[in-house]
Amino acid sequence: MDSYPREYTEHLRPLVLVAGLTPPATDRPSSPNATPSSSPPRDRRPSMPVSPQNSSAYLTPPRPDQLRRRGSVWSPMPPIDQELAKQLLGYLTVRSGSNVWEASAMDVSAGTKYVEGLFRVLPVERAYRLPAKKARPAPSPLSSFRSSSPSGRPRTRSPSPVKPSTDPLHSPAPPAPINPANLHSPLSPLTPGSPLFPDGLVTPRWVAKYARRLPSAFVGFYEIYTGDDEQTKALKDQELVKELTELKRAFADRGIKFVAVVTSKKTTGEALDLDTRLNNLRRAAQLDARTGLLFLGPSSAVELRGFVANLQEVLYPTAVEFYNDILKHARKKSRNRGSSPAESLRWSLRTDFKVGVMAEFLQNIELADRNYRSAYMTLLEMFNNTSILPPRSQRWIEARLLSDSLNLKICKMCLYLDLPADAMKTFNQHIAHTARLSSTHWSPSTGIDTPEWYSWLARQRRAFGDLVVLAEGSGFDFRSLEVWKPTVPGPGVQVGGWRRGEVVRHAGYEYWEAVECMKVRKIKMKEAMAREKRAVGEEGGEGKEGDEAGVDVDKVIGEITREALEQFRHHGDMRMVLYLSQELAQTNFEAGNYDIALTYAKKLVAEYRREEWTTLLEGALRTCLACAQELGNHEDIMRFSWELLSKDFKGDEASSNAFFAETRDLAAAEDGKPLVLDSSGSTAPIHMSFVFNPPMTSVTMPIVFQVTLEYNVHPSTPPLSLKSCELLFDGIYRPVHLEHNANEEASKAGSLVLLKLEDDGDILRASGDLSFQPGEKKTFQMVKLAKHEGVVNVRSGLLHLDSPGARPIEITCDLSSPDKRHKFLWLEETNNRQRSRELHLDNPRSCTVLQKPAKLQIQTDFKGLAYCGEAFPLILTVMNEEDEAIRASFQVSTASYEGDPLEVAAKPDVESIAAPDSVFDIGEVKPNEIGSGTCYILCPRMRTDATVEFTVKYSLASDPDTKIRKTLEISIPVMEPFHAAYDFSPRVNSKWPEPFSTSDPLTSFLEIAQSWALTSTLSSLGSITMEIEGLELVLEDTLGPASVKVRHGHGCRSDGNDNLVWDSSIAHKAEFVLDCTKAEDQVYEESFVDTVIAIHWRRHQEVENAEAHWNTAYLMVPRLHIPSFEPRVLAETILYPSFPRKRTIIWHLENPTNLILNLSLFMHPSEHFTCSGVKHTQVRLLPFSAQTIQHNVIALTQGWLKLPSFKVIEVQSERELRMVPASADIRLDREGGMSIQVVDDEVDEKV
C-alpha cells in the first residue's frame, strides 16, 4: 500500500495533542545540519511527524511574528519533569498508530477500563499554530505595491508621499470590500489557490489536516511550584492562571476541548496549601475539576496507568462531539450545491468521503463503509462520462488514485466487520469495473492488454496482500474461515468447490499474482518497444528490458517474490516456497545477481536432494554451477560439477570437463585444509555401501564385513583413481585404512577381493586396487577377530582422490543414514562363481559382539532373610569348568523395589562401603576347583525387598586380555528383627526431700521425685536364634519441666559373663526405670518423654566366628506421658516362697504437694483373703513426704484373686486417693480393683 497516499490507507483515530511533555527545541538533539537558536524555527506551517507510532516526533512551533495570530498558541512555561514526562508519553502513545483491527478492543462503555490505542496522541511544543479555518483574502495589487520596495523587499520606513495620478485610465481602482462570510477553507474548491480549485475532487491534505494537525482535544501538562517562598508561589500561580485562560479561549474558538494537567513533586499531605491553590486555579481559569483541570501527584506506574485511563474517559465524549459536529457540517454544507450535474457529482463525492472519514474517526465502521461505497459509486458514474473526467488528464489521474484508495478502504472495513467474502468480492468488482472502463472509455483501441494495465493490476494485488498481512498481524486468522461453496453451477464454478477469487487467502497468493502480472507486464513492454523500433526503422541496441519511467522491473519482481516466499514459508506451504525460490534464483541470474541466485539455488539443492527429487535437482545443480562459474568460485564449481557427473542426470561433456579441469588447476588453500566433496546422497557419482555378515558374533570369533565402491557415471566420463579409503566406526572397532595398490587380480569389475587386515597401532591397514572405470563396481571383504564385547556401528567413509592439483580432495560418504534406493547385498563366491545375495536384516551396518560363553558355576551361602540395620557376610563360591586355570573377580550391584538400597562393603562397617564399580578378588582357580570371595551386605534401617546381582569376570591363562562374564542374582527380603509391646506404670520411690535441710528456702526449691517403669515385651522375628549383648533405653527428648534419668532393670543384661540368647519362639521382658524429678513449684505440670530402645545383637551362629559383627536395632517407643504430681497410694506385695498363700501388702502414701493432708484409712474385709493389720486409722501427711502401711493377707483359694478393698480419703475435701499398682505381680482390673495370682507349690509341680 506504499503506492498510495498514507492518508488514504491508514486507519484514523481521534487526534489528541499533548504539550509540556517534550523538552524545548533548544534542548533536543538537533540534526547535524541544524544550527542552534534560542528562537523557534521559522516554518510557515508545522511539519508533520514521520510516523504516528514515533512518540519522539515533534510538531515545530510557528514563527514569533505568527504567535499573536488567531489560532496560534504560545507559552513560556517550561516542560514538566522529564522522567515523569517520559513515562506519561509512553502510556499515552502506546499503540497510538495501531491498525483497524486493534481498535476492536475499544470498549468505552466499560467504565474506566484502560484501552491502548484509543486515541492517536502526538506530542507538540507549547508554541503551536492550528491550521487556518478560513483562507485569507488575496492582497490587491496596489497594497502589494505599497508594501514592497522596487526590489521586492519589505520597506523599513514609511514611503515618501506619492502624487496622485490624474490619468483616469492608469489610476488604480479601489479594492472591493470582502465579506468574511464568503471566505472558505484553504482546501475548499471554492478558494482560489486551493489544490481543488475549481473542479477538484478530494486532496489527501484534507485528511492529514484532521489526522495530524487539528486535534479533537489539547492536553497541556504543567508543574506547579511547591517551594517555600510565598511570593514566588503567588507569582507562579498568576502566570499559570493567565496561561490557562488564554489557551482555553484560543481552543474554544475552534471547538477543541482543552484539558490542563497540573503535576506536583509533593503530595497534598506534604504541601498543605496545595488543595487550596488548585481550587483557586480552577476558579480563576473557569476549568472544571473533573474534566478541565486534573491533578497528578507523585505516582507509581500502576497509578500513572490509571490516570491515563481516567484522562481517556474525560477526552472521549468531547472527541465524539467534535467529529460529530464536523460530520453534520459536511452534510449541511453539501445541500443546494452544484450548478451543473458534474458539479453536483463532485459535491456528492466530497460529502460522502468526508462523512466516511469522520465516521472512521468515530470508529463507526458500518457508517464509514456505507459512505465510502457511496463515494466509490459516484466516482464510477463520473468515470463513465469522459467530459467530466477526460482520460489521461490530471484530474483523471487523481480520480484513479482516489478510486483505488477507496477500494482498499472498503475492503479494510469489510475485514474489520468480519466479512472477508465481501472484501474479496469488492476487490474483484473494482478490478472488473476498471477493466470495463479501460476497454470502453480510456483505451478502446488497446483494451487491457497493455503494460500499464498489468502494472496497475500488480500494484492492486500487492496492496491487497499488504492489507491481508496487516490483518493477520493483528490476530485475524483466515484459516479459520469456512470456505464458501456455491450452490448454483456457473461458468468456471465447480459444484461443491470454490473459485480462486471468491475467498480471502493468505497474502502469499496475492503477492504471487502480482509477480505473474509483472512478468506479463515485462513481456508486453518488450513487445511494445520492439513494435516502436520497427515503426521507426531502428535495429539493434535495445535498452534494459522492461524498463519504463526508470522502473527496474526485475528488482520489483524480486521484491514481491521474496514477500510471497516469506508468506508461504510462514504458512507452511513448502512446495510454493521451493517454486518461488527457483523463480528468485532464475530472476536474479537473468539480472546478473549471481551471488543471490546462488544462495536460493543452494537451498533448492539441499531440499531436492533430501527428497530425492532427481529431475528438479539437476536443474538446480546446473543453476548453481552456472552461478559459481560466473562468480569464479572454484570450490563451488568442484562441488556442483562433481555431483553432475552422476549417471542419474543427463550427462554432458561440459560438466565432466569442468570437474577434471578444476582438479588440475585447484590451488592449495591458505589454511592447508583439503576440499571436501559430499557423496552421501543417492545421486552421488561414487557410491559406497557397507554390510556386516553375520550381524552378531562373540568374543574370539571373526567379524566379517564387505565394502562396495561403485563409480556411477556416464561411459564418456574419465576414469577415477583413489589414493585411499578410510572407514570410521562407532564402538569398539578401530578405523580401517584401505590404501591403493593396483594388481591384475583386483582390477576386474564386480570382483570380490579378500583383504587381510593388519594391526598398525590405532588403525587397521589393508591394500587393494582403488582405480575405477565408468560404471565399475568393486567389493572388498575383510575379517578381524573380536576381542571385546559390544556394538560396532559403521559411521562414515572417507575417500582420498588421487588429484594432480596442489590441494587434496576428500570425498565423504555417510554410512549411518539409511539408504532407500540401494539394497544390502552380500557378494559370495560358490564353485568359482560370484553371486549377490540380499540381506534381509534390520540394520546390516551394525554388528553386535557378545561375550564368550562362560564355563563357570556360581553360588552363595545366603539363606532365609536379612534384618534392618544388619551387616552380614556373603560368600560367593565359583567352580571352574574350563580346561585351564582362570583368574576371577566379581562385582556386586544392588537394587531395591522400595526404600533405601543395600550397600556393599569390604568390611562390616559404614566406612568400608565400596564404590559401585569396586572389584572383589577371587584369585586364581584351577580347573575343576572351587574359589571364593567375601563381601559384606549392609542393610538399611527400613524394611525393603532388594536384589543383589553378582557379576563374575574371569580370563583364561592363555588369553588374559579377553574377559568372560557370568551373573547371578539373588533376592534378599529385609525385615525388622524385633517386635515389642510396652507397658508404662509407676514404681515406688524411696527418695524424698528432707524438710529440715540447711538450704535457704528463699533461694532454692525442693526437688520431688517419682519413679516409673517401662516394661517391654520383646520377641525376635524369623526362625533365627539371636545373641543379645544388652538392651539400652536411649533418652532422646523431654518436653516439660521434669528431669529424667534412666535405670536399667532386669532383662537388660545377663546375670553372668555370657550374653543373652533369645529363641524366636519365646518372648522376653526387659524393664527400664525412669526417675522423674521436678521442683516443688512444677509438680502440677505435665511432661512427655521420647525414648528409643537400642538392642545390640548378632546371629547366634556367628558366635564362634572371630570376626562376628554386632548389630544395633532401634525400636521406637511411643511417647511416654508423665502426669502432674498428685497425692496417690501405691501398692506392692511381698511373696513368701515357703508359704505361697501368704502375702504382705505394702501401701505407700505419697504427698508430692506443699499441703498437709489428713487422711482416713479403711480396710474392708474380703471373701478371698484373711487380713491382719489396722482396719481403720487416721494419718497426717506432711508436705513432700510419704508413709507406708502394711497388711498381711492369706489367700483362701488359688488363681487371680481380688485384694481386699483399701480406701484412703482426704478428710477436708472428702476425696478418695487413687490406688495404683507399683509392682509387676499386681494387676488392675476394669472396676478399679487390684488382683494378684496365688499358686500353690503342688499346683506348680502338677503344671
Neighbours of 400 (CB within 10 A): 18
Helix (H, G, I), strand (E, B) or coil at 1055: coil
pLDDT score, position 192: 86
Quick one: 1113 and 1016 in the same domain? yes
Q: How far is CA 687 from the centre of its chain?
A: 44
Sheet (strand 871-880) strand order:
856-860, 871-880, 930-938, 903-905
Percent of the chain with pLDDT over 90: 27
Q: Could you give the CA distance from residue 833 to residue 1058 in angstroms, rounded to a whole number?
A: 88
Quick one: 682 and 809 in the same domain? yes
Domain count, the chain: 5
Beta bridge partners of 688: 709
pLDDT score, position 102: 43
Q: Could you give the CA distance from residue 404 to residue 398 in angstroms, rounded to a whole number?
A: 10
Q: Could you give the CA distance from residue 331 to residue 351 in angstroms, rounded to a whole number?
A: 6
pLDDT score, position 432: 93
User: In the listed set 268, 297, 329, which residue is the last one of a domain according to the structure?
Assistant: 329
Quick one: 1103 and 1173 in the same domain? no
Q: Could you give the CA distance from residue 1145 to residue 1139 in angstroms, rounded to a whole number?
A: 15
- Asked if residue 357 is part of any domain, the answer here is no
For residue 905, the one-letter residue type is A
CATH number of the domain that 945 lies in? 2.60.40.10
- Asked if residue 1168 is part of any domain, the answer here is yes
Q: Could you give the CA distance from residue 846 to residue 839 in angstroms, rounded to a whole number?
A: 13
HSE-CB of 775 using CA atoms within 13 angstroms: 4
Q: Which of 1027, 1099, 1034, 1024 is nearest to 870 (CA)?
A: 1099
Helix (H, G, I), strand (E, B) or coil at 1048: strand
**Beta strands 720-731; 702-711: pairing state:** unpaired
660, pLDDT greater than 70: yes
- Asked if residue 188 is part of any domain, the answer here is no
The tens digit of pLDDT for each residue in 1099-1150 reads: 876 545 445 678 888 888 999 998 988 898 989 988 888 888 888 999 899 8
Q: Which of 1185, 1047, 1007, 1041 is nearest to 1124 (CA)?
A: 1041
Quick one: 868 and 831 in the same domain? no
The tens digit of pLDDT for each residue in 804-833 reads: 766 888 899 988 877 666 788 888 887 778
**Beta strands 1227-1228; 1234-1238: pairing state:** antiparallel
- Asked if residue 603 is part of any domain, the answer here is no
The tens digit of pLDDT for each residue in 1010-1060 reads: 888 998 988 888 777 888 888 889 998 999 888 999 888 777 776 556 778
Q: Could you give the CA distance from residue 343 to residue 949 in angstroms, rounded to a whole number?
A: 104
Q: Which of 304, 351, 367 is nearest to 90 (CA)?
A: 304
Quick one: 919 and 992 in the same domain? no
Of all helices (H) and strands (E), which one includes residue 1088? Answer: strand 1087-1099
Quick one: 686 and 814 in the same domain? yes
User: In the listed set 286, 307, 329, which residue is the last one of a domain according to the structure?
Assistant: 329
Q: Which of 605, 590, 596, 591 is nearest to 641 (CA)?
A: 605
- Asked if residue 423 is part of any domain, the answer here is no
For the ranges 15-29, 170-184, 216-230, the lowest mean pLDDT is seen at 170-184
Quick one: 713 and 815 in the same domain? yes
182, pLDDT greater than 80: no
- Asked if residue 633 is part of any domain, the answer here is no
Beta bridge partners of 1149: 1129, 1187
- Asked if residue 660 is part of any domain, the answer here is no
CATH number of the domain that 997 lies in? 2.60.40
Q: Could you give the CA distance from residue 512 to residue 498 in angstroms, rounded to a whole number?
A: 19
User: E-strand spans in 732-842?
Assistant: 736-740, 752-756, 758-760, 763-768, 771-772, 777-785, 790-801, 809-814, 825-830, 833-838
Name the residue with cell 549417471. 647
Name the residue with cell 476558579. 283
Quick one: 1041 and 1068 in the same domain? yes
For the ranges 147-161, 253-267, 746-760, the lowest mean pLDDT is seen at 147-161
Confidence of residue 109 (pLDDT cuts 50, 70, 90): very low
Quick one: 708 and 768 in the same domain? yes
1014 contacts 1120 by C-beta, under 8 angstroms: yes
Q: Could you give the CA distance from residue 737 to residue 620 in angstroms, rounded to a whole number?
A: 35
Percent of the chain with pLDDT over 70: 82
pLDDT score, position 457: 94
- What is the pTM for the complete model shown? 0.62
User: In the listed set 1084, 1103, 1125, which residue is the last one of a domain according to the structure?
Assistant: 1125
Quick one: 1200 and 1073 in the same domain? no
The tens digit of pLDDT for each residue in 947-1005 reads: 899 999 998 888 887 888 889 999 988 888 888 898 888 988 878 887 665 555 554 56
pLDDT score, position 581: 92
Residues in the chain: 1247
Quick one: 1046 and 1150 in the same domain? no
pLDDT score, position 667: 66
Of all helices (H) and strands (E), which one includes residue 1161? Answer: strand 1157-1163
Range of the domain at 806: 675-850
The tens digit of pLDDT for each residue in 320-377 reads: 999 999 999 888 877 656 678 888 899 999 999 999 999 999 989 999 999 999 999 9
For residue 574, the one-letter residue type is M
- Asked if residue 524 is part of any domain, the answer here is no
Quick one: 845 and 866 in the same domain? no
